[in-house]
Chain A
Amino acid sequence: MEVNIQTEPGRVIARLRGEIDHHAAIRLREKLDRVIEGGEYSLLILDFSEISFMDSSGIGLVLGRYKLMKRLGGHLLVRGACSRILWMMQMAGLEKLQIFETERTKKHETDE
Chain B
Amino acid sequence: MKPMNESRITFLSRSMNEGFARAVTAAFISQLDPAVDELADIRTAVSEAVTNCIVHAYPDRLGPVFLTLRLYENGKIQIRVRDRGCGIPDVSKAMEPLFTTGGEDRSGLGFSVMQSFTDRVRVLSRPGKGTTVTLEKYINRRRGEGTD
Contact = CB atoms under 8 A, between A and B. Distances in A.
Interface of A: 19, 21-23, 25-26, 29, 53, 55-57, 59-61, 63-64, 67, 84, 88, 91-93
B1 interface: no
B95 interface: no
B128 to A, nearest CB: 24
Contacts of B30: none
A108 B44 CA distance: 35
A22 B18 contact: yes
Given A21-B19, A84-B40, A91-B112, A56 B107 contact: yes
Interface of B: 15-16, 18-19, 22, 40, 43-44, 47-48, 51, 54-55, 97-98, 102, 104-107, 109-110, 112-113, 116
Given A23-B18, A84-B40, A55 B105 contact: no
A22 B116 CA distance: 20
A60 B84 CA distance: 25
Contact of A25 (B16, B22, B97, B105): B105
A48 B67 CA distance: 30
Given A55-B48, A55-B113, 14 more contacts: A22-B51, A22-B54, A23-B15, A23-B18, A53-B40, A53-B43, A56-B106, A56-B107, A56-B109, A56-B110, A57-B105, A60-B106, A91-B116, A93-B98
Contact of A53 (B44, B54, B97, B98): B44
B51 A60 contact: no
Nearest to A52: B40
Contact of A23 (B16, B44, B48, B109): B16
A91 B19 contact: no
A53 B104 CA distance: 21
Contacts of A63: 104, 107
Given A22-B54, A55-B51, A91-B113, A60 B105 contact: yes
Contact of B48 (A26, A53, A56, A84): A56
B104 A67 contact: yes
Contacts of A64: 104-105
B104 to A, nearest CB: 5
